[in-house]
Structures are given as structure tokens and as C-alpha cells.
Amino acid sequence: MTDAVQIASRLTQVREAIAEAARRAGREPDSIRLIAVSKLQPVACAAAALAAGQLDLGENYAQELRDKAAALPGMGARWHMIGALQRNKVKYVVGVAEWVHTLDSLGLAEEINRRALAQGIRQRCLVQVNVGAETQKNGCAASELAGLIEQVAVLPGIDLQGLMCIPPAEEPEATRPFFRRLVELAVQERARSGLALAELSMGMSADFTVAIEEGSTMVRVGTAIFGARV
């Protein structure tokens, strides 16, 4: 099989697994957006996914996102920034990525806001929450989430759409409590802030079916589509 054929066939398998998990959970398969994570894969792989109708693509590194977006114009791609974002890299991402999943501090939010306003846009963002309270992980602490949302909600260049998490690496079933925790936080914050916060970005290759059962609306799947990263 050529790479392109293999990517198309894996995409079909992943979409079927998403639909099955949705049905098990009594959810509409269409309520879950698949993000194909093309980080560290050649541009040709992202192009193959686009050609197979997979328009949502995720990248972890700001310059790589910018470069791939520039290399694949006019194919309808919707880019998602899913990696840790430093303030000095915000300029590569705002207005190029349709979504930034990894907003986790007021300083970062202010820089995104500033760059978005300069372009006359509102940048769609999710707040990343460190649900496992891991010291080495990015994401805002659960205890700081309410305060951060309150401060971000008033920034006119940011369109805050929901929450994102990367649970500690565990067996798929062991990630379930962390996904539940993110859902719980979303329910709390919707009630408190009055924002819709409809999007929950959670689930990767190993555990996206568990995440869907728990309410994920965006799954970020790399290896299961593109194979091991080079």
C-alpha cells in the first residue's frame, strides 16, 4: 500500500471506531470532531489526509504548523494548535490555526488577544487543564481554572470555546477518571461563567474511544492514522 492509501484506510478505521463509541454512549457520531495529528510527519502525509477528506489537522509546534499551513493552501484545512505554546511563538499561530487548544495562562491569553485584535479576528481557544496535577505537564491547575476563565472571557480577541486535557499516560481505561474530571469542571464552569464552553478536547490514539464515552467533542489522533512519528 502506498502511504496515501494506508492513511485513507486508517482514517476510515478511526472514523468507524469513533462512530461505534458514540453509539455505545448514545451520542451522535457527528458530534465528535476528529483531529488528525500530523506533527512530525511529512507534509505529504497531511496532504494525503486532506485528500481523503480529513480537514481538521493538529500540530504541536508553532513553526511546523505555520509551515505546513503555508505548504497546503486552498485544500480547506482547519489547523489546530495542540502543543505547548510559548508567548514568543504566538505570532506564528494566531489567524493561521483555527483553534488553539493549549491556552493555560493569562500572559499567553493576553498575547493571543493582542495578535488577534491586530488582525481583526477572534481566535478560538480552549483552556488546557492539568487534570492529573502533574508537575511536568502544561495546563492550568483545576483550582485556577475559574479565575483564568473569568479573565480570558473579557478579552475581545479570544473566543473561548471549551476545555482540553492530556491525562497522565496510563492504560486506556485508567484515563477515564481524568476525562470525567474535565467534564465535571466544564459543567461547573458553564454554570458559573454562563459561557457555553461546548468543546471538550480529549482523547488520543490509545484512549479516544474512552474519551468519547465520557463526552469528548474533539479527539486528537496521530499514530493510529499516520503511524509512528519519524
Binding site for ligand PLP (CB under 6 A): 37, 39, 60, 82-83, 166, 204-206, 220-224
Instruction: Please report how close the Cβ of residue 225 comes to ligand PLP at its closest, in angstroms.
Output: 8
Q: Which is nearer to ligand PLP, 114 or 227 (CB)?
A: 227
For residue 35, give the C-alpha cell.
483531529
Contact (Cβ atoms closer than 8 angstroms) between residue 186 and residue 216: no
Q: Which is nearer to ligand PLP, 86 or 119 (CB)?
A: 86
Instruction: Please report how close the Cβ of residue 192 comes to ligand PLP at its closest, in angstroms.
Output: 26
Phi and psi for 217 in degrees, rounded to 5? -110, -10
Sorted by sequence, the CB contacts under 8 Å of residue 48 that are 6+ apart come out as 3, 4, 7, 8
Q: Which is nearer to ligand PLP, 37 or 100 (CB)?
A: 37
Instruction: Please report how close the Cβ of residue 100 comes to ligand PLP at its closest, in angstroms.
Output: 12
Q: Which is nearer to ligand PLP, 83 or 157 (CB)?
A: 83
Instruction: Please report how close the Cβ of residue 204 comes to ligand PLP at its closest, in angstroms.
Output: 4
CA-angle at 183, arms to 177 and 184, nearest 5°: 85
For residue 162, give the C-alpha cell.
471549551
Instruction: Please report how close the Cβ of residue 112 comes to ligand PLP at its closest, in angstroms.
Output: 18
Of 126, 135, 129, residue with least CA distance to 181:
129
Q: Which is nearer to ligand PLP, 155 or 186 (CB)?
A: 186
Contact (Cβ atoms closer than 8 angstroms) between residue 66 and residue 96: yes
Instruction: Please report how close the Cβ of residue 190 comes to ligand PLP at its closest, in angstroms.
Output: 23
Which residue is associated with the grid cell 504541536? 60
Contact (Cβ atoms closer than 8 angstroms) between residue 212 and residue 219: yes
Q: Which is nearer to ligand PLP, 155 or 221 (CB)?
A: 221
Of 138, 68, 117, residue with least CA distance to 96:
68
